[in-house]
């Protein structure tokens, strides 16, 4: 059913191109919030290995907190559900959208409002942090490519902030 | 910008990611109905306001989301140490 619905994205669907950076909307994907006191329980359910260090990511799963993980997968991928173990697996696919910043100025543009030093941010590292007043999750996919996950309702504002920073 | 060490992330992160959550090490009386009005008032409202070393709860809201305890100097705003919630007072 949802396949035939028309998606209305809060940001432009055509990439914004500026000198040194391209800002675009990532393809729709599946997102799951994973919570468990014991990581082993989640590993049993999902049949994967979870990263244990906060900020690390492995196979599309990022560790955000001591009992919290964030899974991103291709839209339509089948994710096993829980089986009596004390875990919480919540589908939050449409809560967030993902903007992709690509280019040599990507880090600089994110740092216009994010207090982290992204020059020291390793490829593959993930951090939940803040941009001005908006909670974001930064994922460094490559040396010059960042994925920024944020709540859909903040996306229109964030898009303006990013494109304004990119223009300057 | 002040950098605060988060004991869960084990990393120094910018102050803007954190939120102060008041005085630390205040536990709720196990049997509230046995409390006198004065004791209950003290638990609910009476807080220390020292000049100098102060134990506080902080939350890494825009990060791992965890509460932890910190010892901060209220004069210099310098963080002496931070430690996980549940660990003994330092």
What is the DSSP code (8-state) at residue A17?
Answer: E
Give yes or no for residue A7 having a pLDDT over 80. Answer: no
Position B1 scores a pLDDT of 85
Residue that finishes a domain, picked among A91, A109, A130: A91
ipTM of the complex: 0.86
What span, in angstroms and rounded, lies between the C-alpha atoms of A80 and A71? Answer: 12
Residue that finishes a domain, picked among A91, A118, A143: A91
Position B17 scores a pLDDT of 96
| Cα-based distances in Å from A147 to A19, A39, A112, A116, B71 | 19, 25, 16, 15, 36
Tell whether A86 and A111 lie within a shared domain: no
Q: Please choose, from the candidates B40, B21, B41, B38, the residue with its C-alpha nearest in 3D space to the C-alpha of residue B30.
A: B40
Which of A55, A68, A116 is the closest to B65 by Cβ?
A68
Q: Tell me the residue range of the domain where A71 lies.
A: 29-91
* CA closest to A64 among chain B residues: B64
Give yes or no for residue A121 having a pLDDT over 80. Answer: yes
Tell whether A73 and A114 lie within a shared domain: no
Tell whether A118 and A65 lie within a shared domain: no
Give yes or no for residue A1 having a pLDDT over 70. Answer: no
Position B6 scores a pLDDT of 96
B4 in any annotated domain = no
Q: Measured between beta carbons, which residues in chain A are less than 8 angstroms from residue B62?
A: 128-130, 135
A vs B: CB pairs below 8 A: 38
B75 in any annotated domain = yes
Position A141 scores a pLDDT of 95
Tell whether A56 and A110 lie within a shared domain: no
More confident position, A38 or A5: A38
Q: Based on the structure, what is the number of domains in chain A?
A: 2
For residues A89-100, give the mean pLDDT.
93
SS3 A56: coil
Q: Based on the structure, what is the number of domains in chain B?
A: 1
pLDDT interval class at A83 (50, 70, 90) = confident
B38 in any annotated domain = no
Identify whether the C-beta of residue A81 lies closer than 8 Å to the C-beta of residue A87: no
Which of A65, A115, A129 is the closest to B8 by Cβ?
A65
Identify whether the C-beta of residue B72 lies closer than 8 Å to the C-beta of residue B54: yes
Tell whether A132 and A161 lie within a shared domain: yes
Q: Tell me the residue range of the domain where B78 lies.
A: 17-25+51-90
Residue A104 Cα, gap to closest chain B Cα (Å): 24
Tell whether A101 and A163 lie within a shared domain: yes
What CATH number is given to the structural domain containing B80?
3.30.2270.10
pTM, two decimal places: 0.90
Position A77 scores a pLDDT of 83
Position A6 scores a pLDDT of 75
SS3 A124: coil
Residue B42, H or E segment: helix B37-45
Share of chain A above pLDDT 70, in %: 97
pLDDT tens for B33-54 read 999 999 999 999 999 999 999 9
Q: Which residues of A57-96 are buried (b: 16+ CB within 10 A; e: fewer)?
A: beebbbbbbebbbbbbbeeeeeeeeeeeeebebeeeeeeb
Per 3-state DSSP, chain B is made up of helix, strand and coil in percentages (nearest 5) of 15, 35, 45
For residues A76-86, give the mean pLDDT.
82
pLDDT interval class at A3 (50, 70, 90) = low
B12 in any annotated domain = no
pLDDT, averaged across chain A: 92
What CATH number is given to the structural domain containing A151?
3.30.1360.120
pLDDT interval class at A29 (50, 70, 90) = very high
Task: Note every long-range contact of A10-16, with CB atoms under 8 Å and residues 24 or more positions apart, other chains counting.
Answer: A10/A97, A10/A152, A10/A153, A10/A155, A10/A156, A10/A159, A11/A97, A11/A99, A11/A155, A11/A156, A11/A159, A12/A159, A16/A159, A16/A162, A16/A163, A16/A166
Kindly tell me the sign of the dihedral angle through the C-alpha atoms of B2, B6, B10, B13.
negative
B64 in any annotated domain = yes
Give yes or no for residue A152 having a pLDDT over 70. Answer: yes
Q: Measured between beta carbons, which residues in chain A are less than 8 angstroms from residue B16?
A: 115, 130
């Amino acid at each position: 059913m949802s396949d035939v619905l028309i998606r209305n994205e809060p940001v432009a669907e055509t990439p914004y191109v500026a000198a040194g950076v391209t800002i675009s909307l990532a393809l729709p994907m599946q997102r799951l919030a994973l919570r468990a006191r014991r990581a082993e329980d989640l590993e049993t359910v999902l049949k994967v290995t979870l990263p244990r260090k906060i900020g690390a990511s492995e196979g599309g799963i990022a560790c955000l907190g001591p009992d919290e993980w964030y899974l991103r997968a291709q839209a339509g991928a089948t994710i096993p559900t829980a089986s009596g173990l004390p875990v919480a697996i919540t589908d939050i696919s449409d809560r967030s959208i993902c903007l992709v910043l690509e280019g040599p100025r990507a880090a600089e543009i994110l740092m216009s409002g994010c207090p982290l030093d992204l020059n020291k941010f390793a490829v593959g590292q993930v951090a939940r942090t803040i941009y001005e007043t908006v909670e974001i999750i930064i994922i460094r996919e490559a040396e010059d490519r960042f994925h920024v996950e944020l709540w859909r309702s903040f996306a229109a504002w964030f898009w303006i902030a990013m494109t304004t920073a990119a223009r300057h | 910008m002040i950098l605060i060490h988060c004991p869960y992330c084990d990393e120094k992160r910018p102050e803007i990611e954190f939120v102060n959550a008041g005085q630390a090490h205040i536990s709720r009386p196990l049997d509230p109905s046995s409390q006198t009005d004065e004791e209950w008032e003290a638990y609910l409202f009476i807080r220390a306001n020292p000049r100098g070393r102060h134990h506080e709860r902080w939350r890494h809201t825009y990060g791992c989301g965890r509460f932890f305890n910190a010892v901060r100097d209220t004069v210099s705003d310098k963080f002496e140490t931070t430690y996980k919630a549940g660990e003994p007072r330092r």
